């Protein structure tokens, strides 16, 4: 299959649809948790475990599938992860116990966590250097469309047909994965012969070799701080608004507004990344995220909350796009999947810890302003490390 070629637009569409299906599943989960809580009489701790198990699965999936992307190819892993999360999502519609649901959500998370860094690696290796950053950020923009789709499905399907129907819809990407098996060529940078000569242990060691240690340190720090703050803030946005005395965020309209604010964040980042560079976009958008978090945490009026929440969404998701473009560019082809997957896996650990920290601090009586101030500091630490140690990879040809 590797001898086939595919146009840049078609590749973006093919990988982007996979990305969109991922976002659709993650987006629907927040609505499904609410439905399960009512139907199964779940405690807050049990509800929290659903999100945590998903993140644990993503951490494991990013590590395992990132490593194997350097062994059996980007396309094969892209298809395997799509199938894994689709089938597990469909099967979870038939569960009747929390344990069975949690077990399947772990496998859904593995598929999601594995697919995202591998898809961005596949795309980055398949387009010219002059377009690479822009195309990968545009790939990330499909996440917003997936969230929109999730909101629509959850709004129209769950109240009328139940959470099971939404999960069955989440299994549809399995058919798309079978289509990909026939249509999608593998990355031109992946060499089966070179992969066979290297061991997994060698690839892992090389990620922290003298040549790549600096880049790995930067990536792990930025990934951790970005994912830690993203999941800590965004999973708690509804609860934070309620704690501030507002019920607006429970409405579909607010979810739609927040999701729509992601799109200009992605598109402006895509426009800037080949003009101003990866570091500029990451530093600027992360500082914008930090400032928005600080304002949101201390906002008192509805207008200030929604406005700062939109800016938070705009800057944070634009930074996500730039991070997915920047990460694969730090490593040569033989360890690119391993390096990208390990960085994403470290980030997912932050995604597990962030929401847990918020819950414990709220229980301890800390203010929302204080909590969001901590996320602001976390992001600034990532920015400092990136600005001082990160290397610029704008239009650099990949090894």
pLDDT tens string, the chain, 399 residues long: the values are: 344 566 788 888 888 888 888 888 888 887 788 788 888 988 877 887 887 888 899 999 999 999 999 999 998 998 899 889 889 999 999 999 999 999 999 999 999 999 989 988 989 998 888 889 999 999 989 988 888 888 888 888 888 899 999 999 988 887 877 777 667 788 888 888 788 888 999 999 999 999 999 999 999 999 999 999 988 887 777 667 667 776 545 555 666 777 788 889 999 999 999 999 999 999 999 999 999 999 998 988 878 888 998 999 999 999 999 999 999 999 999 999 999 999 999 999 998 888 888 888 888 888 889 999 999 999 999 999 999 999 999 878 777
pLDDT on residue 181: 66
Within 249-396, where are the H helices? 252-260, 262-273, 278-298, 302-326, 333-363, 368-389
In the chain, the domains with their CATH numbers are 8-181+196-389 (1.20.1250.20)
Angle, CA of 119, 120 and 126, to the nearest 5°: 90
Q: Kindly state the tokens that stand for 168.
A: 């069955």
pLDDT on residue 1: 37
Tokens 């847990």 — which residue?
356
SS3 annotation, 101-143: HHHHHHHHHHHHHHHHHHHHHHHHHHCCHHHHHHHHHHHHHHH
pLDDT on residue 219: 98
| 78, 180 Cβ separation under 8 angstroms | yes
- Please classify residue 182 by burial: count the beta carbons closer than 10 Å to its beta carbon, then call 0-12 exposed, 13-18 middle and 19+ buried: exposed
| 315, 285 Cβ separation under 8 angstroms | yes
pLDDT on residue 4: 55
pLDDT on residue 248: 46
pTM: 0.87
Strands (E), 2-98: none
């Amino acid at each position: 299959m590797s001898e086939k070629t595919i146009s840049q637009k078609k590749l973006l569409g093919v990988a982007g649809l996979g990305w969109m299906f991922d976002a659709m599943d993650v987006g629907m989960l927040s609505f499904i948790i609410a439905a399960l809580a009512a139907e199964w009489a779940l405690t807050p701790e049990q509800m929290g475990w659903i999100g945590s198990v998903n993140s644990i699965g993503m951490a494991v999936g990013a590590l395992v599938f990132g490593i194997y992307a350097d062994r059996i190819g980007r396309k094969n892993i892209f298809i395997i992860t799509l199938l894994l999360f689709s089938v597990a999502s469909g099967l979870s519609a038939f569960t009747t116990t929390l344990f069975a649901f949690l077990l399947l959500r772990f496998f859904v998370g593995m598929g999601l966590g594995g697919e995202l860094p591998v898809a961005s690696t596949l795309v980055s290796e398949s387009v010219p250097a002059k377009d690479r950053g822009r195309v990968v950020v545009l790939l990330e923009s499909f996440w917003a469309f997936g969230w929109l789709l999730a909101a629509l499905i959850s709004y129209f399907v769950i109240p009328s047909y139940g959470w099971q129907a939404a999960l069955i819809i989440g299994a549809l990407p399995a058919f798309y994965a079978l289509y990909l098996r026939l249509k999608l060529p593998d990355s031109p940078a992946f060499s089966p012969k070179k992969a066979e000569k290297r061991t997994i242990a060698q690839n892992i060691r090389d990620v922290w070799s003298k040549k790549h240690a600096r880049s790995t340190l930067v990536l792990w720090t930025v990934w951790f701080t970005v994912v830690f703050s993203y999941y800590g803030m965004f999973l708690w946005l509804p609860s934070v608004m309620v704690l501030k005395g507002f019920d607006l965020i429970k409405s579909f309209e607010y979810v739609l507004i927040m999701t729509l604010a992601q799109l200009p964040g992605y598109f402006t980042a895509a426009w800037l990344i080949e003009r101003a560079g990866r570091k500029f976009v990451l530093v600027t958008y992360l500082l914008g995220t930090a400032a928005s978090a600080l304002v949101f945490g201390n906002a008192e009026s509805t207008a200030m909350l929604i406005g700062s929440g939109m800016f938070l969404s705009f800057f944070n998701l634009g930074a996500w796009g730039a991070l997915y473009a920047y990460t694969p560019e730090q490593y040569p082809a033989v360890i690119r999947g391993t390096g990208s997957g390990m960085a994403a896996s470290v980030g997912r650990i932050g995604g597990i810890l962030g929401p847990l920290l918020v819950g414990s601090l709220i229980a301890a009586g800390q203010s929302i302003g204080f909590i969001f101030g901590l996320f602001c500091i976390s992001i600034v630490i990532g920015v400092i490390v990136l600005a001082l140690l990160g290397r610029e990879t704008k239009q650099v040809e990949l090894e």
